[in-house]
Structure 1
């Protein structure tokens, strides 16, 4: 069944113009560090030769950014890559989470941001539909919004990171606790408390001040560029903040009623490639193939149980 899912995903990727790419399982730790300390989750470090510090890749976006910047720097843009590959992340003992998991995804490099996000979301939805998934929806937000608000209110970096950690966990009690400790006005605190709770299609119709207006305009541009059947799957959610630190614009996560965690995550990154000497933006997503398989099984059980 997993192989069938992989083939279905790759067929859609290839049919959409994406060429398959592979990268080494092991990367130099220096490469991952160049992406930024908060860019990728903690993985497993490996000792290489004298003075070499290596790590198992924790996702495919950073390795592909490295390859694109070194081998395709002078190629005609945009670049379109796809993959199915294992990734590795350190997890707490007895957490029930796998240390190795299979990802399938794409990277679209060097295209206009709104159009690129719309293309990536279209490929994502078509790929999931090709596997037979039916009831999924996509939460869509802006990774740059909340950090911009905190910065505009004069919140220092340490306090901002504490708030953003709670936002990434979607812990509203924790968010309110951290906001109460900030030295900001009551009006500013009210804005920061309200934004993570702004969710649903009606959000795009609200008249708001900057930087909220720019974020909503960016999300609206992406949703408006989608075919109507796919746009109906989009749920604007300003409380969506990614764990991957390289995302800087529109971000999205795929959920299915059968699971309590995202099947796929993705978004726009504006600075990652520049860290490797290729100053263009990119959009990508990664599907957790095992979670997709679980969601498909759950939907099938639900249908046969009716």
Structure 2
């Protein structure tokens, strides 16, 4: 038999889908409490839009050609199209816009914990606010969501793109050398970093600072203190000041215990321009949350507007919470019947459905594989007589008594 499954694209069954419903409901409610309105962008987008200034890695996109010969991509990122939508629909750059979304992302991912190439993502984009207040709200909302989902073992690393970029700005380093250095720093590979720095032309003090940066992570105040000692220009100092301001505001939200500093991590998306962050839960090595500030992205669509946002990988989140969702008693009633009772069973089920019961009405010969624990009540109709299945066995009941259960809200 042919195998038509595609690696990285998964079917979602009932129990998992219940998890998605429960998680997205909580996320949508919390976004709403912070003033975010829900939006949705197209599944297909222009390839050229994602290729602007190398904003998104080409090798991670699923590309196709439409009937007119235009190259399209399946949505590999939510931030870029929302920035486009905001610039197109809201021309006034002074507007403060708060958008939330829950959507599907298609992306080639290298991961040790998940091989999904199609996954659900939830996030927000806060456009038009360049302050630390905005960044603090973004991080605090993300923390609020994850904590409300029962993930107390939450760890959020905050970094600053401009800290490292400002260090590189004082050098003649080329893009290829920069990418290699960033990879060594992010992987905390100090030995390989030292060896590589020996082979390229950089001032000695810059090389020494670069070798210190991979270890700039940990408790926020201690890490920031060490980072200040490595600053050699005002831009680096400003980056640290911004992190401190954001952290102080996060304290007002009460989520500072989850926040740590890491000046050595980068982000795969080239559009980030300032503060960036990643979130980890329950000791899993793959980040479940990522985001940051992207103040220059909107200008590529004609509106110069600062912005910040985050995305939460819901599919990975469901994997983490796989035993946390209650599917018991999802339906009100399982109504099983024998052949002589077909008419009575169907008419009874229709009455209950008209009262907004959820009723699975099925001939008993097909009911063997049904999970009865998914139903609040199991009823059998035998020779037109009704019986309720209890722990003690079948108990006779009249139709009026069944209707009474509804009136009493017992089901």
TM-score normalised to structure 2 length: 0.68
Contact 2:111 2:286 in 1 (8 A): no
Contact 1:254 1:263 in 2 (8 A): yes
- Give the Å deviation of 1:240: 1.7
Report which structure shows greater RCO (CA 8 Å, sep ≥6). Answer: 1
Deviation sequence 1:119-143 (CA, Å, 0-9, x none): 1011111111121111101100001
- Would you say 1:183 and 2:226 are equivalent positions? no
- Give the Å deviation of 1:58: 0.7
- Give the Å deviation of 1:299: 9.2
Structure 2 counterparts to residues 187-266 of structure 1, below 5 A:
187-200=205-218, 201=220, 202-206=222-226, 207-208=228-229, 209=231, 210=233, 211-227=235-251, 229-266=254-291
How far, CA to CA, are the matches of 1:165 and 1:224 in structure 2? Answer: 30
CA change 1:232–1:91 in 2 (3 A) is closer
How far, CA to CA, are the matches of 1:256 and 1:17 in structure 2? Answer: 26
Q: Root-mean-square deviation (CA), in Å?
A: 2.3
Deviation sequence 1:141-192 (CA, Å, 0-9, x none): 0012222212213212221122223344554444334323221233221101
Larger Rg: 2
Structure 2 counterparts to residues 133-212 of structure 1, below 5 A:
133-200=151-218, 201=220, 202-206=222-226, 207-208=228-229, 209=231, 210=233, 211-212=235-236
Selected match of 1:295 from 309, 312, 320: 320
Runs of 5+ consecutive residues of structure 2 not aligned to the other structure: 1-18, 326-411
Runs of 5+ consecutive residues of structure 1 not aligned to the other structure: 301-306
Which residue of the partner structure matches residue 37 of structure 1?
54
Selected match of 2:302 from 271, 277, 288: 277
- Give the Å deviation of 1:213: 1.9
Contact 2:166 2:236 in 1 (8 A): no
Structure 2 counterparts to residues 63-74 of structure 1, below 5 A:
63-74=81-92
Which residue of the partner structure matches residue 77 of structure 1?
95
- Give the Å deviation of 1:75: 7.6
Aligned length: 299
CA change 1:84–1:40 in 2 (3 A) is farther
Deviation sequence 1:191-225 (CA, Å, 0-9, x none): 01102211232022344332432221110010011
CA change 1:299–1:94 in 2 (3 A) is closer
